[in-house]
Amino acid sequence: MLPTDNAHYTAWRLSCTAPEPPCHRTRLPLLDTPSSRIIDVVTTAAGEGDTITYREIADRAEIRPPGRIQCVTNTLEEMIRSDHAAGRPLRAAVAISRAGDGVPGPGFFQLCREISLYFGPDSGPQAALFHQIQRQRLHEFMEARAAADGDSG
């Protein structure tokens, strides 16, 4: 049974021995926040191999104005930092700009530079190649994880 208040949940979460927080695998009713809904939408798109625009993420996660897109980008930044720190491919690579020819907005590349994952410009062929590589890594990771989950079930 899951704890029902934040202090107990934090203690419970810290006591987990799973290699990644449980909220990255399943939706816990206790975590029905805008950020958790965004994570769910992005993780689902990653598992399906799809890309999704920032607006579509906000719509599917039922994020209300004002600040819908800012809420999405803030959560995507947290996901990038978390995934990178854990050595996982970036789930946020599935999030693309509506105006960006199928690539994320400049903030994705800027943050990847900040965490020393990318060293190129915010747009152009080098950025597109970096994004393609990140999506490929994510696709391979999600397939392997799905296969492992299938083997254990």
3-state secondary structure string, the chain?
CCCCCHHHHHHHHHHCCCCCCHHHCCCCHHHCCHHHHHHHHHHHHHHHCCCEEHHHHHHHCCCCCCCHHHHHHHHHHHHHHHHHHCCCCCHHHHEECCCCCCCCCHHHHHHHHHCCCCCCCCCCHHHHHHHHHHHHHHHHHHHHHHHHHHHHC
Is residue 102 domain-resident? yes
Is residue 139 domain-resident? yes
One digit per residue, the tens of pLDDT, for the chain of length 153 reads 434 444 444 443 443 333 333 334 444 455 789 999 999 999 999 999 999 999 999 999 999 999 999 999 999 999 999 999 999 999 999 999 988 689 999 999 999 999 999 999 999 999 999 999 999 999 999 999 989 988 765
Is residue 11 domain-resident? no
pLDDT confidence of residue 4: 44
Is residue 41 domain-resident? yes
Which structural domain, as residue segments, surrounds residue 40?
23-152
Domain count along the chain: 1
